[in-house]
Amino acid sequence: MRENEVTDLNREEQSDEVVTARIDIYSLTKDKKQNFTIEGLLPTGWMEKLGRFGYVIEKAGKVIDERISVLKDIMLTFSFKGPDLKDKNNNIIENWADFTKVSINGKDIISKITPVWHNKPYKYTIEAKKGDILNLHAEWKKHDGLQSKMDNYKQKQPEGKINTNKNITIINNGENIISLPENLRSKLSIYIYGKNNKISMDKVDWFEGEIHIGMPDCPVNDCSVEIGKGTTSNGVIIRILEDNSEVKIGNDCQFSWGITIYCSDTHTITDMDGNITNIGKYVNIGNHVWVGMNAVIGKNISIPDGCVVGMCSVVTSKQKFFPNSIIAGNPAKVVKEKIKWDRLRPKQYILQNSD
């Protein structure tokens, strides 16, 4: 027997043989010693690095039935999730499984369709006593987006459509245009679900982060992300979930770490009559804008040229921002006007501008 490993779509398998669901089972209390067993399976070694003991179950079928024998009193966690799938460049492909029924010793844990991402598991923890026998039953089905994604990968992603830079991942699940500079040096992931969408970068050398246009369950059309000349990023996530939306970032902008730009909300808000009140259509960031660490920029926001967005700021209000100002706070507001900023460290700037 061997430990279950991440499924690799490079293997010549039929799609119905590819793992479609995963369950991690581990003791919540940090303890590397074996404190429960699952018939016919070996424990996984990598959990020891987390100081825990546990098993990973990955299957291509639609039902899991496992018998768990508890060897000592423990808190036992069940983590239900989509499988880990990899593309040709060894990058994880985001996906999920639709769990339809999960029970332990006949008690329902999940009783209706519950979509679960591969990296955002549905967790359930129980207190188990020494000598307990736990019968785990789980049923699921492939999510339509997963099957579509696998089909697109195998049939519509020939060699050459995936950037040759191994640090760049592109999942282009439709008829879209992606234009990246040849000299781009960074770890960048691009996920597009829909049609007639466009991503373009103009002479950008370093841009690390993620760009998401649509999702497997929510493809969008006619959207664009435009990033201007000389703009750099150490870690920004851009998300679009509405048709005909755009994110436009000007020239010579600088993004720090942990930044998120939400051009769209991820769930719906309505008034009492059911009319949607939170549609997002654009985020416009001007030229030479510096966005600090862990800032969040929401939908329908325009940030003028020359501004600085302070670290941990939440820019969601529709108040007017002025060029060459510092924007900070939650909600963010103008805290200082008539400023300029430079990429040089303060000490470097002083030395360069000293007599």
- Just list the catalytic residues: 267
Nearest to 205 by CA among 182, 225, 171: 182
Nearest to 193 by CA among 169, 157, 218: 218
Q: Which DSSP letter does residue 43 get?
A: P
Report the distance separating Cα 7 and Cα 21, nearest Å. Answer: 11
Q: How big is the CA angle at 234 (ends 198 and 291), to the nearest 5 degrees?
A: 85
Total Cβ atoms within 10 A of residue 115? 16
Beta-carbon contacts of 159 under 8 Å, excluding residues fewer than 6 positions away, are none
Nearest to 242 by CA among 279, 276, 192: 279
Token pair recorded at residue 192 = 């597009």
Q: Which helix (H) or strand (E) holds 350?
A: helix 346-353
Beta-carbon contacts of 273 under 8 Å, excluding residues fewer than 6 positions away, are none
SS3 300: coil
* Residues 22, 57 contacting (CB under 8 angstroms): yes
* Residues 181, 199 contacting (CB under 8 angstroms): no
